[in-house]
């Protein structure tokens, strides 16, 4: 990985500062910013228009995995499905297989598609796992993004998911087992009553029964991998979720069906790869 770090001498926008420092075109530096390759005072900044102050320390990842972070990406195989848009928010249906935000290797992301649609950086406030599909909301202005972020942080964003699991799933119930990182496998969480885990609560309801079951999931907390780890703790990992021991499948069959924020609700249609859809 190649990186350049420097101190800002005079206040300007991030894009203007990078053009002057790197001797690149505005388009090239904007691609670096949108790819998540620029950090200001240790924090990633993805808005080329962000104002910098004199004395700020900027770090730019110039190359990752042997490729320039300013390189033009190949045309995306994904299209943006807009569910709702007004002056403040953009709501889309994330397809499975697309990362929510730029990756270190410069892979296309949902944030890239949303930003391209708007013609400016979209405000990312929540993320779905790569294989998870469904409702995702972006802010269209700094004020809207801040308001959305506060709603998620304060628990005012209500989410509903649908997952596919094996047969015999209980009719309904609540899982309130705390979550902690699994020391035996990187990137995985486990649900345990013992230890100093993070409080996690999931309500569930079986929607269909048969060789596989569709289940409705309502997380009352927003922990990393909460739904995946909670279902695995019951002995019903999500079909296709190889990290948590799910039955073989083309992808982890988890879909964010509904999102409500401060009384406004949006729904995404069930994906075609779900049984019965």
Active-site amino acid positions: 129
Cα separation, 110 vs 101, whole angstroms: 6
The whole-angstrom separation of Cα 149 and Cα 167 is: 37
Supply 40's token pair. 């200001």
CA nearest neighbour of 58 among 4, 19, 13, 2: 4
Q: Yes or no: say if 161 and 254 are a contact pair by the CB < 8 Å rule.
A: yes
HEC readout, the chain: CEEEEEECCCCEEHHHHHHHHHCCCHHHHHHHHHCCCEEECCEECCCCCCEECCCCEEEEEEEECCEECCCCCCCCCCCCCEEEECCCEEEEEECCCCCCCCCCCCCCCHHHHHHHHHCCCCEECCCCCCCCEEEEEEECCHHHHHHHHHHHHCCCEEEEEEEEECCCCCCEEEECCCEEECCCCCCCEEECCCCCCECCCEEEEECCCCCCEEEEEEECCCCCCHHHHHHHHCCCCCCCCHHHCCCCCCCCCEEEEEEEECCEEEECCCCCCCCCC
């Amino acid at each position: 990985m190649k990186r350049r770090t420097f101190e800002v001498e005079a206040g300007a926008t991030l894009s203007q500062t990078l053009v002057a420092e790197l001797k690149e075109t505005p388009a090239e530096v904007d691609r670096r910013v949108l790819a998540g390759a620029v950090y200001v005072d240790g924090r990633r900044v993805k808005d080329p228009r962000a104002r910098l102050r004199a004395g700020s320390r900027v770090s730019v990842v110039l190359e990752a995995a042997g490729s320039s972070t300013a390189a033009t990406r190949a045309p995306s195989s994904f299209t943006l499905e807009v569910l709702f848009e007004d002056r403040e928010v953009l709501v889309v249906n994330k397809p499975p297989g697309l990362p929510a935000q730029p990756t270190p290797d410069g892979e296309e992301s949902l944030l890239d598609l949303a930003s391209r649609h708007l013609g400016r950086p979209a405000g990312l406030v929540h993320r779905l796992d790569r294989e998870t599909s469904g409702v995702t909301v972006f802010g269209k202005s700094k004020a809207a993004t801040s308001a959305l972020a506060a709603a998620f942080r304060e628990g005012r964003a209500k989410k509903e998911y649908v997952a596919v699991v094996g047969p015999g799933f209980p009719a309904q119930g609540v899982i309130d087992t705390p979550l902690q990182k699994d020391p035996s496998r990187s990137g995985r969480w486990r649900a345990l009553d013992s230890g100093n885990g993070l409080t996690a609560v999931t309500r569930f309801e079986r929607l269909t029964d048969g060789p596989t079951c569709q289940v409705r999931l309502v997380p009352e907390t927003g922990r990393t991998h909460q739904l995946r780890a909670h279902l695995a703790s019951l002995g019903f990992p999500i079909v296709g979720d190889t990290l948590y021991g799910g039955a073989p499948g083309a992808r982890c069959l988890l879909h964010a069906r509904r999102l409500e924020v401060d009384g406004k609700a949006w729904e995404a249609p069930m994906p075609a790869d779900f049984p019965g859809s």
